[in-house]
With several copies, the nearest count.
Chain A
Amino acid sequence: MKHILGKILENIELTEKHFLLTVKVKAKIPDVVPGQFVMVMIDDKKVFLRRPFTLYKVGEDTISIMYKVRGFGTNLLSRMKKGREISLLGPLGRGFALRNRDLYVIVAGGIGIAGVNLLIERMKGRFQIFYGTSSSKGLALIRNLISHDPIIATMDGSFGYKGDIISCLSQHIHYFSGVDFEILACGPKDMYVSLKNVLVTYRVPCQVLWEEKMGCGMGLCFGCAVKTENAEHPMKRVCLEGPVFDLWDLSL
């Protein structure tokens, strides 16, 4: 973890609500595990706390995050222009742990793709991407991933499977039976609830990137704590022991 100062190189509008921000940094970028995040300072009167974003891409001297405009902070972030100075803190948290499975099934819902992009970039073995989005507009977020033949679901049926990504996955999951596979997922909470329901009978190994509002991102405030199934550690901090958790560890 360190303080990383940089300047905005670009802040590209992908859809009305989604942006890809690239920051050029001066100092050496520490090693990053996919799934780790940075706390971004959004310098404005109306924003006090930093905001967490997964590292989407890490170059020689650049760091990118992909984000969705949700509230105040992301709205202001989306208006920041090239050249503006920006302070990041990271990399933070525990990323995805790869245990040499025969197959990884990567499941992303909407902006959740930002949480697994670096993971996909660095994948060595066999993997299959499932990506769910509300409409074909959401394809703008996975342009770089088309060559990996993702299975795509849209809620309005405007592209691929019609429905949510977990029902789409549940239609495919029997193909993987017998294979030593693990699921790596990133998306909203209700996606994880459905996912758990689908996987529960076989207790398929599954890691999820869990989001919670954060005060500090460094384990200091306990603002991000979630309940677990672990009697010894009934509460875990998303920013320190996560954001990537074993799905079976969390009390959803």
Chain B
Amino acid sequence: MGSIAIEIFGKKLRNPVMNASGTLGYGREIERLWSIKVLGAFVTKGLSILPCQGNPQPRIFDLGCGMLNSIGLQNIGIKRYLEEYTEFFLERKTPVVVNIFGFTEEEYIECALAIGDNPVVLAIEVNLSCPNVKTGGILFGKKPETVFRIIRGVKSATNFPVIAKLSQEVTDIVELAKAAFEAGADGLTLINTIPGVVLEENRVIRGGLSGPFLKSIALKAVYDCSKAVPIPIIGVGGIMNTEDVISFLRAGAKAVQIGTATFVYPNTIPKIVKELKKRRSFD
């Protein structure tokens, strides 16, 4: 079996496979089935400067070929998380991508400052699909200007590489990729969940779509953005198996993240890593 290590942000990773933010708990939970050492890097759940309780129930809807979630970014806050988990990742020698979000531009910067020079951190992934409370809830990721400002702000507050995770619900994702790049982003993660709505007993519930049906849309974003900006792209959206990973790499991704697949087939990530290793020795 050949090596499938990659270099990204100047560091070497065991392999190009990460989990997607918000889909592998805080990190410990899956270890009842497999060690997180399997991952190229662990991506944290979205973390904010203050703890966040998230949305009321119900939060999960099965759409047959994927799902809709309205978790609402529940988390224990970035400081408590780093206190409780740094040791855990150190022990496992697993680099961590810290996914951060804020409800104001300042909160993004505070998150970056809270990370400091934490020894397990590989990079900061900035989730731009968060409502800006100051503009009545328009997502930061909707406008090139706000993307530019937030990435620039986070960059100035940290020495770690900064990855912009873009929202797909935009007229031209390439324009946003360029704004992130010009602000100094070191990489892009494409794509986040896509906004959708379900009707349950006459209630309208908003949430984000994930799962297999995102794949073709995510591939388009990865392909188009990889032609437009010279920074590494991490592909996410609907990956279910090794074939899908190969498609993303071919479309221009340097690494991939796997989310919803793990909910249904909890061994997806170790299986893909194993299969990638087998393949690599043949090419």
Contacts and interface: CB of A to CB of B under 8 A. Distances in A.
A73 B62 contact: yes
Interface stretch (B21-29, B155-163, B180-188, B216-224): B21-29
A213 interface: yes
A231 to B, nearest CB: 11
The dominant DSSP class at the A interface is: loop
Contacts of B60: 49, 213-215, 221, 223-224
Interface stretch (B51-59, B103-111, B127-135): B51-59
Interface size class on chain B is: 20 to 34
Contacts of A224: 59-60
Most buried by B among A218, A222, A225, A234: A222
A3 B267 contact: yes
A9 interface: no
B242 interface: no
A220 B262 contact: yes
Contacts of B67: 48-49, 215
B262 A223 contact: no
Interface in B59-73: 59-67, 69, 71
A48 B212 CA distance: 10
Q: Which label, helix, strand, loop or mixed, suits the secondary structure of the B interface? A: loop
A30 B211 CA distance: 30
Nearest to A234: B53
Interface in B89-134: none
Interface string B3-42: 0000000000000000000111100011011000000000
Interface in A40-62: 41, 45-50
Nearest to A218: B29
22 contacts: A3-B267, A46-B64, A48-B63, A50-B263, A50-B264, A213-B60, A215-B59, A216-B266, A218-B30, A218-B266, A220-B25, A221-B23, A221-B69, A221-B71, A222-B25, A222-B71, A223-B59, A225-B71, A225-B74, A234-B51, A234-B53, A235-B54
Contacts of B59: 213, 215, 222-225
Contacts of A46: 64
Contact of A222 (B22, B30, B262): B22
A250 B196 CA distance: 30
Interface of A: 1-3, 41, 45-50, 72-73, 89, 212-216, 218-227, 234-235, 240
B33 A212 contact: no
A45 B69 contact: no
Contacts of B61: 213
Given A3-B266, A213-B59, 17 more contacts: A2-B33, A3-B267, A47-B64, A48-B65, A48-B66, A50-B263, A89-B266, A214-B60, A215-B263, A218-B30, A218-B263, A222-B25, A222-B54, A223-B60, A224-B59, A234-B51, A235-B54
